[in-house]
Structure 1
Amino acid sequence: MVKRIGALVVVVVALILLLSSVFVVKEGEYRVVLRFSEAVKIHSEPGMKFKVPFIETTTSLPRYQMVYDDNKPTEILTKDKKPIIVDNYTVWKITSPQQFLRTLRTISSAESRIGDNVYSTVRRKLSEIEYGDIISENTARGDLNAEITREVAETADRQNYGIQIVDVRIKRTDLPEENKDSVYERMISDRQSIAAGYLSEGDEESRKITAAADRQARELIAKAESDAKMIIAEGEEEAARIYNEAYGKDANFYQLYRTLESYVTTIQDETIIMLPVDSPYTRILLGRE
């Protein structure tokens, strides 16, 4: 009976020792083995691991990227001393668990340090920019975010926290309630001024196009009239040549034809003409030729 109890005790002790020495590393976490509160080993691959029971302990740290957003928009003064409400978030991750535990120890402590650094950098960067440029549609917000990210990341590297700042983004910029109306009125006035400028430019361009079209039309009409006169002149010249060629074949007939034509032109309605009886014109008219 004593042997059985002793064997059972040994089994229980062995089981306790086994359970105390085994731990599981999950996906997406660092499992840090601590000996007297000092990190001695880091496990990042999922699976079952072992430690020295009762002497070593473990703690878990996230290996994935985390988003820090304290949801507390802060008021910052721009370069032209305009108050602006800024809300931002930070994406970060732990890269050195040992250094992280040595300097920051907890996630909440890390986020507090990150928040201080981000606020300081955002305040300084926005204080270098006028409010109109911040809210303008042409503002390179992407470049501003990149600059803030770079500076915050460099600060974290210098302080050797064992973390990496992946991205810092300004997700919202707004005005204090007491300043919104005046700024909105100024924005409306600016947009109306821009619209008036576009309309003025459009009218000027319209006048230029109309003037160019009128000038082109006058040039086309002038050229067409000139071409028409040349064609008429050429036609008249050709007709005269044909007449001369035809009439030159019989001079007497031509003279008679011209005389008859003159009768048609001269004797109209009640026209009275005094002619000598023996003149050639009269003899032809009387049929004596």
Structure 2
Amino acid sequence: MNKIIALVVAIVIVLFAASSMVFVVDQRHMGVLSSRGDTAPTLLGPGLHVKLPPPLQTLTLVDNRIQSLDAPDEDRYATADKADLLANPVIKYRVTDPLKLLEQTRGDTQSLPDRLALLSRSALGDAFGKVSLADLLAKQQAVADEARGAMDKAAASLGVQVVDIQLTRVDFPASMTDSVFKRMIAARAQAAADERAKGAAEADQIKADAVGQQQAILADGYRQAQTIKGEGDAKAAEISAEAYAADPQFYQFYESMQAYKKTFKPGDVIVVDSNSDFFRFMRSPTGGVAPDAPAATRKH
């Protein structure tokens, strides 16, 4: 009977020892096998592995999946124009180098979320400090992306890759909400006034340009009209000169008739001196000038 009990105890001890020596690393984790002394730890991939029982060798499993860190409380940040904001970031990260992680945390992987939270506050503080409150709504994703890049560089020393940062809440502290809203309203009103003033200035400039173009067109048209008129007057004078040279007496008669037409209107009463030279063609068709005598006929 005692032999059976001893055999059972021996089997249990062997099974217990075997269970502590044989282990499986699944696809979701990476294993780090550490030995006593100064021996460097060994990184193990997925599969079945064997190790010495503790405390000769210890196994640490590190999750290599993308994990989320959601800060339960919001943090306060300041913008470039010194406006205070409350923000809640959600950080997506994954462990890429378990050996470096264990080295930097001295085997305490549970402290990783706290370290990442500190890094995120520093990175977001720098990113928020580069934008003004007015631009924050349009650049909120850009702020998160910049913080992710800075945090990823800092977290590389921990063997961690920061995949993404999302800001789930960006709000004002309750104590300054009213003053911030009033300042934003005043800023938007000033921007609207500036745009209206700019539009009015552009409209005045357009009107001034149009008036200038109108005056230039009118001046050019007047110049062309005067040129054409001058050419017409010159042509008329040339024609008159030719007509006068061809028959001076008829030309004087025609000019007098035109003068009578312009001077006398129906119903006008005019007192004049009938002996005036102005009326010479009324007294005589030749204007008081004897017609040219016909050429004398020669008799042979």
Q: TM-score, normalised by structure 2?
A: 0.67
RMSD over aligned Cα atoms: 4.5
2:217 counterpart of 1:220:
yes
Assess, with a 3 A threshold, how the Cα gap between structure 1 residues 150 and 284 changes in structure 2: closer, same or farther. closer
Which moves more between the two structures, 78-87 or 23-32? 78-87
Cα offset, 1:66, TM superposition = 2.8
Cα offset, 1:155, TM superposition = 7.3
Cα offset, 1:83, TM superposition = 4.3
Amino acid at match of 1:30: M
Contact 2:280 2:287 in 1 (8 A): no
Map Cα deviations across residues 114-133 of structure 1 (whole Å, 9 max, x no partner): 223433x258648x949xx4
Assess, with a 3 A threshold, how the Cα gap between structure 1 residues 31 and 226 changes in structure 2: closer, same or farther. same
SS at match of 1:213: helix
Equivalent positions of 1:1-289 (< 5 A) are 23-34=23-34, 40-44=41-45, 46=46, 48-52=47-51, 54=53, 58-76=59-77, 83-101=84-102, 103-105=105-107, 107-119=109-121, 121=122, 125=126, 129=129, 133-137=131-135, 142=142, 146=146, 150=150, 153-154=153-154, 157=157, 162-166=158-162, 169=165, 171=167, 172-265=169-262, 268-269=265-266, 271=270, 273-276=272-275, 281=281, 282-284=283-285
Contact 2:93 2:161 in 1 (8 A): yes
Amino acid at match of 2:162: V
Which moves more between the two structures, 13-22 or 252-261? 13-22
Q: How many residues align structurally? A: 268
Q: TM-score, normalised by structure 1?
A: 0.69
Identity of aligned residues (%): 23
Contact 2:30 2:98 in 1 (8 A): yes
Q: Distance in 2 between matches of 1:35 and 1:197?
A: 72
In the alignment, structure 1 segments of 5+ residues that lack a partner are 1-11
Map Cα deviations across residues 87-130 of structure 1 (whole Å, 9 max, x no partner): 223343334323434535454321123223433x258648x949
Q: Distance in 2 between matches of 1:43 and 1:261?
A: 125
Contact 1:125 1:148 in 2 (8 A): no
Q: Distance in 2 between matches of 1:29 and 1:213?
A: 76
SS at match of 1:137: helix
Q: Distance in 1 between matches of 2:164 and 2:90?
A: 6
Assess, with a 3 A threshold, how the Cα gap between structure 1 residues 148 and 266 changes in structure 2: closer, same or farther. closer
Amino acid at match of 2:195: Y
SS at match of 2:71: coil
SS at match of 1:64: coil
Assess, with a 3 A threshold, how the Cα gap between structure 1 residues 152 and 104 changes in structure 2: closer, same or farther. farther
Map Cα deviations across residues 242-285 of structure 1 (whole Å, 9 max, x no partner): 232234223333233334444444555455554359x9631328
Contact 2:29 2:63 in 1 (8 A): yes
Cα offset, 1:235, TM superposition = 0.6
Assess, with a 3 A threshold, how the Cα gap between structure 1 residues 153 and 229 changes in structure 2: closer, same or farther. closer
Cα offset, 1:195, TM superposition = 0.9
Contact 2:116 2:155 in 1 (8 A): no
In the alignment, structure 2 segments of 5+ residues that lack a partner are 1-11, 292-300
Assess, with a 3 A threshold, how the Cα gap between structure 1 residues 204 and 98 changes in structure 2: closer, same or farther. closer
Amino acid at match of 1:109: S
Amino acid at match of 2:215: R
Structure-2 residue corresponding to 1:7 = none
Contact 2:94 2:161 in 1 (8 A): yes
